[in-house]
Structures are given as structure tokens and as C-alpha cells.
Amino acid sequence: MSTQTYLTGFSRIGEHRELKKALEQYWSGKISFPELEELSKKLRAKHWTEQSGQKIDYISSNDFSYYDTMLDTSIMINAIPERFRDLSQYEDIYFSMARGNASSTAMEMTKWFNTNYHYIVPELDKRTPFQANINKIRTEYREAKELGIQSKINLIGPITYTGLSKSLDTSDPFDYYESILETYVKVIQEISELDDSIILQIDEPILVKDPAPKLLDLIIQTYNTLASVSTKIKIIVMTYFEQASEAVPLLSQTPIWGIGLDFIHGKDNLQSLSSIGDKVLVAGIIDGRNIWISHYDEALKLIESIREQVPHNKLLLSTSCSLLHVPYSLRNEPQEAPIKQWLAFGVEKLKELVLLKAILENDNTSETKAALEENRNIHKNKLVSSLIHNDKVQQRVSKEGNRDREGNFHERIQLQRQQFNLPSLPTTTIGSFPQTKELRKIRRDYKKKLITKEVYESSLKQYIKECVEFQEEIDLDVLVHGEPERNDMVEYFGELLEGFHFTSNGWVQSYGSRCVKPPIIYGDISRPKAMTVEWISYAQSLTKRIMKGMLTGPVTIINWSFVRNDLSRELISQQIALALSDEVRDLQEAGIKIIQVDEAAFKEGYPLRKKNIKSYEDWAVKGFKLTVSTAHKETQIHTHMCYSAFNDIIETIEAMDADVITIETARSGNRLLKVFRDSQYKKEIGPGVYDIHSPRVPSVQEFEDQIRERLKVLPVDQMWVNPDCGLKTRAWEEVRSALTNMVRATKRIRSSGD
């Protein structure tokens, strides 16, 4: 066997988001479940033929999902929480687990490792009725086979599954591991009956985190057991997103067939190859997380160094992870997009794999040669392209990239307090007000040039005016303009900065039917002109109260974009930060006294391995500080972070040196807040007291209780009162009553004097 091509997994949502559309039609009752099944079957067939058409050697089944593959795994082992067990139809159980129903709340959802994909968190307890159910696997395997494809079957491994679960009645989900493993054995037994010989890809990405000894201990037992179930089954244990060095020597002692390693995001995996033994290696050599074309010469060099340690006939070339994390295909992007030649989405990555294989096989056809030559040229030209490189920006970064703000917190806060003269427990909001249908339509119409700039601006100004009047009416202390001009907090700035590209169809699944279209940072970043000053100044002109300026910080912009790979994140962050620091200066000159720099995605960008954390924190903090380096001592800098556990990062938060931080605490109570007290954090904090993810409007009494609860942890002169996050997804009626109640409750506490 010569070197072959392998695909970890493929898109599920579809080239034109067909699955999203079908799901939404099904949820709204427009199509039946059998119709949804039929549409999904067609979609799978299309995805398989896309791969077999390219002659990919190893193609997956069971990488499809109606909602999420962790949820599918819960169904596969029958880990159905009690509240859903009474439902009789499979589809009702499945979608209720994902989305809740009239009587039961949905299962929790959280981020899949360091990606922006979210999975449904399994719930385990003593009564979980574990049982094997391979219906989905069987159906998909047979469908592929009918199309002439002998698919490998993808499963999420038991160690990862359990490690990402929560136990409802013990402190550790691994208390249920024995039963889980037994169920996997049954699953594999049943799978072995499907065919004479089957390859199973078992994903264990949890093994790339700094592995807990407990997890490592499970490897040998688990894979000795699973690989011995049937001689008809060959198991590949797949890892991705980082190196799996500690796991490799253990896995190689078990009778599995192969190991999958990511050489793009886990460069150190090269060192683990010496302990891979006689296993087949699935080598992730094409980036499954980013959208840039491969550099063939570099990829070939990498493959060469792998081949020094792994025999040719034991090497399968693959993407670094499932292609679920990149958009479907470039063919839906306009031809004239200047950066198109540098991009490779899912389908294009398949072609790259096949081409690399051809080169390795010494395929000397003119086509292969031409492709290699073209790839070299593109990279050569890219190195000097004026689309990307801007000397001025680079020089500015080297000169000003380490600037810092004047004064220390103690000095600054005194000046600010004197100047603002705010009451104790100042009230504010996080930025956005409800994004109504009308507002979206105005933005859309303006983009399509259906309305003039004048009509657009006056409609938005009208909205801002209403927001300001409302906030004055309910007597909030620090006001916001409501963000009506922003569709998305990253997209808005990306569109106004140089160096960003927006795709027409670059959708990536975020959760369930939800997709996002991340911007692409391709070039040096600069700010042609002020981005927010006009809106904020207009809002300020309507009121004597303080109007907060509102910006998105560099870390969040980077974490929610596809980022160029020819420059370090540190430099990219410095470029964005310098552009934003000009905005801070301009806002300040326009008379804005408080400026908030949102870092909603600060925590989620943390690396999977401890050894990489320091360098992340260094550039992240540096980027934030550079952004606000133009702020005078009198200008108060706020930052906002969404739901995050701050325990491990409190020193980093401190180092960011924001005067005020607002965070999400309405659901978690004081749990997240205590660390601020315990670490003697002295700066001001706005712990959220209104859960903006719920349509519920808390009463004045509930708000009062929430605030008093927070005051058990925070001194009164350190605390602000605000909602958890922006209000853009809420309805006006809810926001009106909730904020009115929030202010009333605050006043009650102020006047009670305790």
C-alpha cells in the first residue's frame, strides 16, 4: 500500500446551509420528520460523492449530525436524561435534548475545545439506562455502501465523551466509566456485524490537553478492551488541535490499528513518532482550522520528516481535523475577490490532499507539475503583495507597539470619581439595545443600496435618540447609544478596517443550525477613518449624562476571525490595537469620558496546553493595554467579558488594568465573583444581575436580592449594577421592564443606606 489520503470528517451543514434550512423548516412545522430525513440523506450522498469524486481513499460515515455529534453519542449509548425519557418518538427526544421543550429545559451547551463549535454536554447519573443503539451508524454506513463507498465509521471515544460530561449525582463523571465502556463494547460488537471488515475512527481529542494522569491510566485498559471486541474491526484513535505526546506511547501498546495526530496545531507530535510502534499513522498535514492554501513545498518537507520515522505504507495523509470547522467551498465566492487565490475551503482542501499524494507518488503529469509550480508562484507573490503588506503599519507597530497608559489605577480612579460624581452602585448596560426587525431591515436596505445614506443615518439616529430618552427616563447613570449600526461586534469593525475580507458564503457551524461567517484577516491592519465617533458623539449630544464609547478589543476580533498565518498573533493584535487606540483618542477628543473595550472572547481563546498559556496572555494583555494607551487618566476604561470562570486568569485580568470590568454572573451567583475578592482585586466590577439569555423579567425584589447577594462579596464602592451582557437579542418590552426594575432596586439599596 502506498501513502493514501484520509479525511477526518466533512461538513454537515452543507454547501448552501441546506441542513440549517431543513432543520428550521422542520422546527417550524413546515416539513415532517420523514421529509427532514430524506433531505439529510440527499445531503450526505452529496457530501460522500464530493469526496469520492476527488478520490479520497478513506471517507467517513457517521460524521453527519442533525445537531451535534456529542448528542448523537449520548443517543448511541442511551444516556438520555430522565426528563426526556417519557417522550416516545426518537426525533422528539433528540431535539428536546438539544433545544428543550415546553416542560423541560435543554441540556447545557458549551465550546468544543478551543473552537467556536458548541456541543451538548452529556448528563450522567446513577439511573442512566446505558444501552447500545447503532441505528444512526447502521443507516449511514449502508447509505454510503449503496453509493459504492466503503466508509470508515466515526465515533467520539469513551474517554473524551466521559471527560466532557457532567455527573448529576457524584462529583466525577468517570464514576460511570465502567458502564460507558461496556456500552461501547456492545456498540462495537453490533458494528462488527455490518460488514466483513470495518475501520472505526474513534476521536479522543481530550488526550491533547495537558492530560490528567487519571485519563492516561484509562488509555490502555480502554483500547485493549475496544480493540479486542472483534477481529473484523480496525481502530484508529484520532486526536486533533494539539500534540498528543503523552498518549502516543500508551496507545501504541494496545492492539489498535492506527493513531491520528495533528502536525499543524501540534508540531511537537513529530517527537512522538519514535514511540508510535507499528501503528498506522493518520497525519494531519493540511490545516482543518484555517482557510489558507497549503504551501506544498513546506507540506512535502513535513511529510518527509514524518516518513523518516513511519514507513510509507503506514502513512495516511489527512487534514488536521474535521473540515466541519471551515466553510464548504470557494466555488461560491465571487471570482473577483482579490484574495481568493490564497484561500482553500473544505472542498479545496480535499484537492490539496490528493495533489500532495500525487506528488509523493512521483506522478509527473503536466497537471501535477503545473499545480506545484502555480502554488510556488502564488506564495512568492503573496510575500510581496501590496494587498497584504503595508510598511507604514509595520513601522508604526515597531515604534509604538509597546505603548502603555499613563497613571496607575489609584490615581486614575480618584480623578474619575471627582469628575463623574456618580452615585454609589452606578447603573449601566453593556452596550446593545434590542435589534428590532425594522433595524435589521434598515441596515440590509442600506447595504443593498435601496435607501440613501441620509435615510439610513437619520433612522439610526432616531433609534439612538429613543435609546437615550429611555435611559434618561428610567434614570440610568451611564448611558450607551445602543449599537444600532452594528450587525455583529466583530464584523462592524472588520468592515471599517483595512486588512479584513468578508466572504459571501463562508459559513461555519457554530451550534445546531446556527452558523457564523467569520471575517478573514489577510493583511496589515489600519484604520482609514474614525469608526464610531459620529454615532457616539451624536448620542452624547442628546444628554448631559455620561455616554459610553463602545469598541471591540483586539483579542475578540482575532478569536472570532480566520487569521493570517504569515504573521504572529502578537503582531496582528498590535496592529488592531494601534488602530483602536486612535479611535480611543478620537472619542476622547470628542468629549467621551468613558470608553468600553469589549473582550467577550478573551477566555475562550486560551490554549489547550499550559505551556502555551503565558504567550497567549502576554499578547492578549499587551493588545488590550495598547488599545487604551491613548486614554488620559481622567478617561475611564471599561471592559466586558461574557461567561467565563476567572479563577485561573484573575492575575491576567488584573494586568489588563481596566478601571471597570463588567461580567456575567446572574446565573452563577457569587461563584465567579469570589475570586475577585479572594485575590484582593481593587478595581471596579459590574457583576451582571440580569440574565439576558432568558425572556424572564425579574421583579424589583429579585433584583434587590441579586444586588444584595453580590454585596456580600464586593464592597459597595467597588461595585456597579448592570445586566450580564448586551440586550440585542431581547425584546423591548422585556428590556423596558427589566431595566426599570434594576434601577428601582438599586435606588432602594442606596436609600436604605446599607
Q: Which residues are catalytic?
A: 693
Paired with 548 in beta bridges are 594
User: Which residue, 69 or 639, has its beta carbon nearer to ligand GLN?
Assistant: 639
Q: Which element (helix H / strand E) includes 439?
A: helix 437-447
- Letters for 598-637 (x = contact with Zn ion by CB under 5 A, - = none) are --x-------------------------------------
Candidate residues 642, 653, 685, 719; the one interacting with ligand GLN per rule CB under 6 A: 642
- Letters for 448-487 (x = contact with ligand GLN by CB under 6 A, - = none) are -----------------------------------x----
List all residues 6 or more positions away from 645 whose beta carbon is below 8 Å from its beta carbon.
603, 672
Mapped onto helix, strand or coil, the DSSP state of residue 8 is coil
598 binds, among ligand GLN, Zn ion, none (CB under 5 to 8 A by kind): ligand GLN
Candidate residues 430, 468, 531, 707; the one interacting with ligand GLN per rule CB under 6 A: 430
Give φ, ψ of 49 to 5 degrees: -70, -30
User: Which residue, 598 or 657, has its beta carbon nearer to ligand GLN?
Assistant: 598
CB of 728 to ligand GLN, least distance (A): 5
Binding segment toward ligand GLN, per CB under 6 A, in 425-433, 456-464, 497-505, 746-754: 425-433
User: Which residue, 637 or 642, has its beta carbon nearer to Zn ion?
Assistant: 642
User: Which residue, 508 or 735, has its beta carbon nearer to ligand GLN?
Assistant: 735
Indicate whether 727 belongs to the interface with Zn ion (CB under 5 A). Answer: no
Candidate residues 316, 725, 735, 738; the one interacting with ligand GLN per rule CB under 6 A: 725
CA 687, CA 710: separation in Å to the nearest integer? 7
List all residues 6 or more positions away from 29 whose beta carbon is below 8 Å from its beta carbon.
none
Answer for the pair 389, 381: CB distance below 8 angstroms, yes or no. no
Closest CA to 247 of 203, 286, 183, 287: 203
Binding segment toward Zn ion, per CB under 5 A, in 24-32, 293-301, 652-660, 722-730: 722-730
Indicate whether 595 belongs to the interface with ligand GLN (CB under 6 A). Answer: no
Burial of 193: CB neighbours in 10 Å, binned 0-12, 13-18, 19+: exposed
514-516 and 508-511 strand pairing = antiparallel
Q: Which element (helix H / strand E) includes 366?
A: helix 366-384
Buried/exposed code over 141-168 (b: 16+ C-beta within 10 A; e: otherwise): bebbeeeebebbbbbbbbbbbbbbbebe
CB of 484 to ligand GLN, least distance (A): 11
- Letters for 597-636 (x = contact with ligand GLN by CB under 6 A, - = none) are -x-x------------------------------------
Q: Which element (helix H / strand E) includes 352?
A: helix 346-360
Answer for the pair 662, 642: CB distance below 8 angstroms, yes or no. no
Q: Which three cell numbers stand for residue 528?
A: 482609514
CB of 273 to ligand GLN, least distance (A): 42
Strands (E), 636-690: 636-641, 660-663, 684-687
Indicate whether 431 belongs to the interface with ligand GLN (CB under 6 A). Answer: yes
Mapped onto helix, strand or coil, the DSSP state of residue 595 is strand
Binding segment toward ligand GLN, per CB under 6 A, in 153-161, 176-184, 268-276, 424-432: 424-432
135-146 and 33-53 helices, crossing angle to 10°: 50
User: Which residue, 236 or 642, has its beta carbon nearer to Zn ion?
Assistant: 642
What residue spans of 100-212 are helical by DSSP H?
Answer: 135-146, 158-163, 177-192
Interface with ligand GLN: number of residues (CB under 6 A) = 13
CB of 690 to ligand GLN, least distance (A): 13
User: Which residue, 642 or 685, has its beta carbon nearer to Zn ion?
Assistant: 642
CA 584, CA 403: separation in Å to the nearest integer? 14
Indicate whether 728 belongs to the interface with ligand GLN (CB under 6 A). Answer: yes
How far from chain centre, in Å, is Cα 496? 23
User: Which residue, 284 or 482, has its beta carbon nearer to Zn ion?
Assistant: 482
CB of 643 to Zn ion, least distance (A): 8
CB of 726 to ligand GLN, least distance (A): 2
CB of 109 to Zn ion, least distance (A): 16
Q: Which of residues 521-550 bind ligand GLN (CB under 6 A)?
A: 550
CA 643, CA 357: separation in Å to the nearest integer? 44
68 binds, among ligand GLN, Zn ion, none (CB under 5 to 8 A by kind): none
- Letters for 672-711 (x = contact with Zn ion by CB under 5 A, - = none) are ----------------------------------------
User: Which residue, 397 or 642, has its beta carbon nearer to Zn ion?
Assistant: 642
Give φ, ψ of 666 to 5 degrees: -60, -40
Answer for the pair 163, 124: CB distance below 8 angstroms, yes or no. no
Q: In what order do the strands lie in the sheet with 684-687?
A: 478-479, 546-552, 594-598, 636-641, 660-663, 684-687
CB of 517 to ligand GLN, least distance (A): 16
Answer for the pair 201, 8: CB distance below 8 angstroms, yes or no. yes
Candidate residues 594, 642, 735, 739; the one interacting with Zn ion per rule CB under 5 A: 642
Indicate whether 426 belongs to the interface with ligand GLN (CB under 6 A). Answer: no
Q: Which of residues 290-329 bind Zn ion (CB under 5 A)?
A: none
Binding segment toward ligand GLN, per CB under 6 A, in 205-213, 315-323, 428-436, 614-622: 428-436
Buried/exposed code over 517-530 (b: 16+ C-beta within 10 A; e: otherwise): ebbbbbbbbbbeeb
Query: What residues make contact with Zn ion under the rule CB under 5 A?
Result: 600, 642, 725
Query: What residues make contact with ligand GLN under the rule CB under 6 A?
Result: 430-432, 483, 489, 550, 598, 600, 640, 642, 725-726, 728
